[in-house]
Amino acid sequence: MPSSVQHVVYDAQEVLQCYGDLVLRTAFMMLKNRADAEDAAQEVFLAFIRTKPEFDSAEHQKAWFLRVTMNRCKSVLRSAWHRKTQALDEAFPEEDFTERETGVMQAVQQLSQKYRAVIYLYYIQGYDTTEIARILDVPQNTVLSRMARARKQLKTMLEGGMDDV
């Protein structure tokens, strides 16, 4: 969400402009497939239009988009269709990252979905562990233990070199 947006937005174009990238990146981080991520993002925005939720603040609205996106992605991952199809080997555009950052992103993509989610929300979206717990609807201690386990796995992968990533 652009830092200039400090108010709740309801206009479809403005919502798409403010949250489109956030929703798509979150979906891609979870699904590892651009086409599936785009489909999930579209469904999130359709849900917004259909339900017309009320928000207390822009942060509440952003959290709603993250929560709905993650829930939609979990549904896709649980679906029989998704389990029977092979994911395309897509990644974040490498020109956006240095070689080291690309290695880190590849390592993060290899984490299980529950670990990727906490890493993404903490390091990319800037949420604290209390907010992450609320978004994921899990206890804060669960978030803390997932963060610790994810960091340990990342450290092992990255210290082992790119062959392990």
**CA 117 to CA 114: how far, in whole Å?**
5
Q: Is residue 133 part of a domain?
A: yes
**Structural domain includes residue 2:** no
Angle CA 162–122–64, to nearest 5: 125
**Amino acid at the residue 25:** R
Residues 143 and 109 in one domain: yes
**CATH number of the domain within which 144 lies:** 1.10.10.10
Choosing from 27, 55, 90, the residue where a domain stops is 90
Q: Rounded to the nearest 10 degrees, how much is the dihedral formed by the CA atoms of 47, 14, 122, 86?
A: 50
CATH number at residue 22: 1.10.1740
CA dihedral sign, ordered 79, 20, 66, 118:
positive
pLDDT at 34: 87
Q: Are 40 and 25 in contact (CB under 8 A)?
A: no
**Could you tell me how far CA 65 lies from the centroid of its own chain?**
10
Domain that holds residue 72: 7-90
Query: Residue 99 falls within a domain, yes or no?
Result: yes
> Can you give the pLDDT at residue 3?
42
At 101 the pLDDT is: 60
Mean pLDDT by runs of 10 across the 165 residues of the chain is 58 87 91 88 92 89 93 83 46 49 76 89 87 89 94 87 47
What pTM value is reported for the model?
0.60
Q: Where are the alpha helices (DSSP H) in 79-121?
A: 80-84, 99-110, 113-119
